[in-house]
Structures are given as structure tokens and as C-alpha cells.
Amino acid sequence: MIAKVKQVVFLFVWVLALFFLPKVCYAEKVTVDLVWKFSQPGWLEFEVTQGVYLLNYDQVNSSLQAGQSLKVGQSGITVFVYQGNKLSVLNKPLIRFTTPGGGIFRVREPGKDWVSYRGNLVVTKEGIDLKLANTLDSEDYLKGVVPIEMSNAWAEKGYEALKAQAVAARTYLLKNMDSNGRITDSPDIHQAYWGKTVEGEASRAVEATKGEILVDSQSGEPISIYYSSHNGGFSEEAQHVWQNYDPHYVSQPDPFSDGIGGNVNHWSFWVAADVLGNSFGLSPIRTVKLKKYPSGRVYAVNLVDWLGQEKTVTGGEFVRKFYPYGKEITKDSFLGRLFEVEYFLPKPSGDKSLNPFLGLNNLTAGNKNVPQISLFKSSNGGLTEKPRDVGMFHFNGRGWGHGVGMSQWGAYNMAMKGYSYKNILSFYYKNSKLADII
């Protein structure tokens, strides 16, 4: 009798435990606010490329077939729709494009390229700008994320890396979309999303890992996901970037990221001492001291000028001032913070230390007898008209991004070496395991 009671109690506790176990809820649909590709549009053109779309605005209900289009514009507080030869001024700035299933549309601003999307679209007005929101299946959303975060071209030799990225992106979506199932398309806010436009071979990786996410090995809860382009050969702890400890991220050597990735593996820039000082409100800089975490990442740069004035800035703030590439960045962008610094003082004679500048004679326009270093402003700042003797600082760096979590180039290298996506995920995300979405 006692044994039977124990069995009943055990069964009751087991069922109760199952009831209270954390369940991973995954919305089948996601709404993506298109704030990256369409940040402040005034005029927009829409065209259906596949299927049928039901169009609704004010009291108008119509449909658009493949090949049909319309334009939406705004002026002041007014929003209007131009369809065929008819111009409609809207009483309410709300336009809905809904597909019964399988629809694809494309949209563009005047003079810009088309961007294609699956699913539905809602256009509203916020302030003086039009706002776009794309609602689609979550798995289709991932097909527009993985190839822009990595590359369709990696499928041939790095297919397992794409699968790892798909799992990471799915986990990221689950963890970061709000209570209304919304997320943005911006890599500066969430993860990059470019819709149907970028779909390709990476879609196979999304389909092959359907429903798989990363969860904490003990609690079973989805983990916070971080990844970046290249960790410079050494991963970083989350607390050294966002000040919050996360047991899934450690600082460790990453041999798979070392030596791969071209310009993101190794980068450098030169800055004249006076340009450097002026950038931070100081006179020409005399010394630069770097304060680093154990990973080698610079968390503070101490600048002292020739007048004895001193200023300390963060490593990220410093690198953003002299971003060595031409594309636009935001003030919150994470650039590589693994770097060293050397100082070069120009001399009137042929100093061997100035060899990096010997190839600049064609830029000095006749001043071939003047040390080129004395004319240099910075790597992207050109030359001065007259030489000066303030010297130059040379910064050599590795990696691109915050360095926390998966290094995308490292994952690609692991895949090429024969590692599976599970191996890749276990290397970059500690104390975690794969789980299927319920």
C-alpha cells in the first residue's frame, strides 16, 4: 500500500513538474519595422511580383495582381495614393497590403533600387515620415537575415556556418522581438534583414535547422545571442561590452578566426599628432597609452598633448573617430578594439622608420625631398601643404565588431575545416544546448 502511495505521489510530482517546466513559445509570424532600408521615405513605389494582394485604405478595397503597382507619397500632414490614373488623398494615413498566401512585393524610393519582401505590408505615417512594417512567417524572415549577416556564397564551403547562423538568428529573434511580435530590420538595433532580395543558398540552412534554438543548459530558457563579423582571434566577455555578466560568453583564444577575413582580420590607420589632438580638443598629442582587458581589447585610450593636457576616451569612441572604411556608421557601432599603437617622429634625413611612406611621393607634388610623414594628416584625411614636425601615430588592429559570441569568419573557417554547426555553436556559446521550439 505504501509503495503504491509513493508511486502515485511520484507520478503527481512528475506531471506537476512537466506542467511548470519553461516552455519556449515561438510566434509563427513576425512584424519587421523597416527602419534601416526605409528610414525617412517621402515617396514610395510598390509593385506586386508574385501572387495577389488585397489593398485597403480609407474606404477603398481593391486588389493588385502581379505586375501592377501604385505610389504612395506625403506632403506635410497629407498622405496620398496614386493608383493608375487616380489620385486619392487619405483621411487616415493607413494603407494595408495583404496577401492571401505566397505573395511577394517589391518597394523602392525614387531613384533607388527595388527591395523585395514576402508577406504583408502596412504603411503608416509618423511625424513627417512614412513608416513601413512587413509581417511574414518567422522562418521566411530568417531567410532574409542569414545571407545578409553572412553570405549565400559561403554555402559551397561553409554550409555548416550558415546553419549555425540560422540557429543563432532564430534564437535572437525569439529573445528580442517585443510582446507584439515586432523587431526592426536594422543591424544597429537588432539583426540585419533584407527580405526576399537576398534569399539564396542560405535558405537551405534555415530549412535544415527549422525550429532549433539555443537554450541555457540548466534552465532551458533561450539565451541572449551575440555575434559579430570577426573577433580578431580572441573572444570577449559580455560584461566588458555591455556591463552585464553572461555565463554563455567567455574570453578565450579563437584560432579559427586568426588569419582569415581580409581587411576585418587586420586593419590599420595613421593619424598625425595634431589631427589626433584636434579630434579630441587637445594640442598635438605627445603620448598615447592604451588600457586593455585580458582579451587585449582596448577599453580606454589616454591622450596627453605637448602642453600637458590630458584626456581619456573609451576604445570604441576612439576607433569611431578614425574609422578606416568609407561606409557610414552610427555612434553606437561596435568596431574592432583590438589594437596597438606606435609613434613615428619625422626627421630631415632618410629615416628607415619612415619606409611606410616612401610610396607617397606621387601625392606630395614636387616635395620629394621632404619626409612624406610630415605632410600626412590621416589615412583618410589627405596631405597638408606644408611639412610639420609633430609626428604620426600608427594604429594596428585586428577584428571587427564587439567580439562577443560567434565570430562569423571563425565559424566559416570551422565549417571549411569540417566542423558541424553543432560544433560551431558549442565553441562560441558556452553552457548552452540545442532545443526544438514547442
Reference 185, options 98, 93, 110, 121; nearest CA is 121
Q: What is the per-residue pLDDT for 390?
A: 74
**pLDDT confidence band for 327 (50 / 70 / 90):** low
Q: Which residues of 38-57 are buried (b: 16+ CB within 10 A; e: fewer)?
A: beebeebbbbbebbbbebbb
Q: Does the pLDDT of residue 3 top 70, yes or no? A: no
The CA distances from residue 349 to 289, 295, 345, 393, in Å, are: 28, 39, 12, 19
Convert the pLDDT of each residue in 13-33 to its tens digit: 444 443 443 445 566 899 999
Highest mean pLDDT: which of 9-18, 80-89, 327-336? 80-89
**pLDDT confidence band for 331 (50 / 70 / 90):** low
The model carries a pTM of 0.83
Convert the pLDDT of each residue in 338-392 to its tens digit: 999 998 876 654 444 443 333 333 233 333 433 344 444 444 444 444 545 678 8
Third-level CATH fold of 29-141? Tumour Suppressor Smad4 (2.60.200)
Convert the pLDDT of each residue in 289-307 to its tens digit: 999 999 999 999 999 999 9
At which residue does the C-alpha cell 609633430 appear? 390
**Lowest-pLDDT range of 78-82, 116-120, 288-292:** 78-82
Domain ranges in the chain with CATH number 2.60.200: 29-141
